[in-house]
Amino acid sequence: MSYVDILIPFAGGLGMFIYGMQIMAQGLENAAGNKMKSLLEVLTKNKLMGVLLGAVITAVIQSSSATTVMVVGFVNAGIMNLTQAMGVIMGANVGTTVTGWLVSATEWAEFLRPDKLAPIAVIIGVIIMLTGKRRSSKEIASIIVGFGLLFIGISTMSDAVSPLKESEGFVNLFATLGQSPLLGILAGALVTAIIQSSSASVGILQSLAAAGLVPFSAAIYIIMGQNIGTCVTAILSSLGAKKNAKTAALMHLLFNVIGTVIFSVFAIVYFEFMNPQAGTGVITQTQISAVHTFFNIATTVLLFPVSNWIIRLSKKIGHVKEKEQDRSKVLLDERMLQTPGIALQSVINETVRMGEIVQESLNIAKSVLYTKKQEDIDLLREDENIVDRLCAGITEYTIKLGSLQISEKEHQTAARLLQILSDIERVSDYCENISEFAETLLEKKASFSEVAAEHLDEMIKETVECYQYALEAFKEQSQDKALKVIEKETMVDNYEISLRSLHMKRLANNQCSTEAGVVFLDALVCIERISDHARNIAEEVLAGS
CA separation, residue 395 to residues 336, 359, 543 (Å): 15, 20, 20
More confident residue, 494 or 200: 494
**C-alpha radius of gyration, the chain, whole number:** 31
Asked whether 225 and 184 are in contact (CB, 8 A), the reply is: yes
Residues 6+ apart with CB under 8 A from 403: none
Mean pLDDT value across residues 480-486: 95
Coil, helix or strand at residue 422: helix
pLDDT confidence of residue 385: 94
Mean pLDDT value across residues 82-97: 90
pLDDT band at 4 (very low <50, low <70, confident <90, very high): confident
pLDDT confidence of residue 118: 76
What's this model's pTM, rounded to 2 decimal places? 0.69
Asked if pLDDT for residue 120 goes beyond 70, the answer is yes
How confident is the prediction for the chain on average, in pLDDT?
84
Burial call 73-109: b when 16+ CB within 10 Å, e when fewer: bbbbbebbebebbbbbbbbbbbbbbbbbbbbbbbbee
Asked whether 118 and 77 are in contact (CB, 8 A), the reply is: no
For the residues of 275-333, what is the DSSP string, one character each?
A: -GGGGGSBPPHHHHHHHHHHHHHHHHHHHGGGHHHHHHHHHHHH---PPPP-TTS----
pLDDT confidence of residue 415: 94
DSSP annotation of 215 reads B
For residue 32, the one-letter residue type is: A
Percent of the chain at pLDDT above 70?
87
Asked if pLDDT for residue 243 goes beyond 90, the answer is no
User: In sequence order, what are the beta bridge partners of 282?
Assistant: 215
The Cα–Cα gap between 422 and 151 comes to: 51
Instruction: For 277-295, write each residue's pLDDT tens digit.
Output: 876 788 888 899 999 999 9
Instruction: For 121-141, write each residue's pLDDT tens digit.
Output: 888 988 988 887 776 787 788
Asked whether 61 and 434 are in contact (CB, 8 A), the reply is: no
pLDDT confidence of residue 375: 92
The gap from C-alpha 489 to its chain's centroid, in whole angstroms, comes to: 37
pLDDT band at 72 (very low <50, low <70, confident <90, very high): confident
Closest CA to 452 of 387, 411, 501, 414: 501
Q: Could you count the other beta carbons within 10 Å of the beta carbon of residue 261?
A: 11
Coil, helix or strand at residue 409: helix
The Cα–Cα gap between 286 and 288 comes to: 5
Mean pLDDT value across residues 372-384: 92
Percent of the chain at pLDDT above 90?
36
Asked whether 400 and 337 are in contact (CB, 8 A), the reply is: yes
CA separation, residue 8 to residues 15, 209, 416 (Å): 11, 19, 51
pLDDT confidence of residue 36: 53
The Cα–Cα gap between 18 and 114 comes to: 16
Handedness of CA 192, 17, 172, 104 (dihedral sign): positive
User: For the purposes of burial, counting CB atoms within 10 Å of the CB of 305, is it exposed (0-12), middle (13-18) or buried (19 or more)?
Assistant: exposed
In total, the chain counts a number of residues equal to: 545
pLDDT confidence of residue 319: 65
Q: What residues does CATH 1.20.58.220 cover in the chain?
A: 334-544
Lowest average pLDDT, out of 96-110, 210-224, 445-459, 518-532, goes to 96-110
Asked if pLDDT for residue 78 goes beyond 90, the answer is no
For residue 456, the one-letter residue type is: L
The Cα–Cα gap between 291 and 224 comes to: 10
Highest-pLDDT range among 10-19, 242-251, 439-448, 465-474: 465-474
Residues 6+ apart with CB under 8 A from 421: 351, 354, 391, 394, 395, 398
Asked whether 61 and 27 are in contact (CB, 8 A), the reply is: no
Closest CA to 211 of 284, 313, 294: 284
pLDDT confidence of residue 406: 77
Where would I find the H helices in 445-478? Answer: 450-476
Asked if pLDDT for residue 346 goes beyond 70, the answer is yes
More confident residue, 410 or 312: 312
Instruction: For 173-221, write each residue's pLDDT tens digit.
Output: 766 776 788 988 998 898 888 877 777 788 888 888 887 888 888 889 9
For residue 184, the one-letter residue type is: G
pLDDT confidence of residue 54: 86
More confident residue, 210 or 301: 301
More confident residue, 288 or 326: 288
pLDDT band at 53 (very low <50, low <70, confident <90, very high): confident
The Cα–Cα gap between 382 and 229 comes to: 43
Lowest average pLDDT, out of 152-166, 178-192, 288-302, 395-409, goes to 152-166
For residue 243, the one-letter residue type is: K
Asked whether 183 and 176 are in contact (CB, 8 A), the reply is: yes
For the domain spanning 334-544, the CATH number is 1.20.58.220
pLDDT band at 110 (very low <50, low <70, confident <90, very high): low
Instruction: For 516-538, write each residue's pLDDT tens digit.
Output: 888 889 999 999 999 999 999 99
Asked if pLDDT for residue 320 goes beyond 60, the answer is no
The Cα–Cα gap between 221 and 188 comes to: 8
Asked if pLDDT for residue 388 goes beyond 90, the answer is yes
pLDDT confidence of residue 413: 92
Asked if pLDDT for residue 297 goes beyond 70, the answer is yes
The Cα–Cα gap between 404 and 407 comes to: 9
Lowest average pLDDT, out of 1-15, 17-31, 308-322, goes to 17-31
Mean pLDDT value across residues 506-523: 81
The Cα–Cα gap between 304 and 355 comes to: 40
pLDDT confidence of residue 60: 73
pLDDT confidence of residue 43: 52
Highest-pLDDT range among 236-250, 295-309, 322-336: 295-309
Mean pLDDT value across residues 269-273: 85
pLDDT confidence of residue 536: 97
Angle made by CA atoms 200, 181, 288, in degrees to the nearest 5? 40
pLDDT confidence of residue 104: 75
pLDDT confidence of residue 273: 82
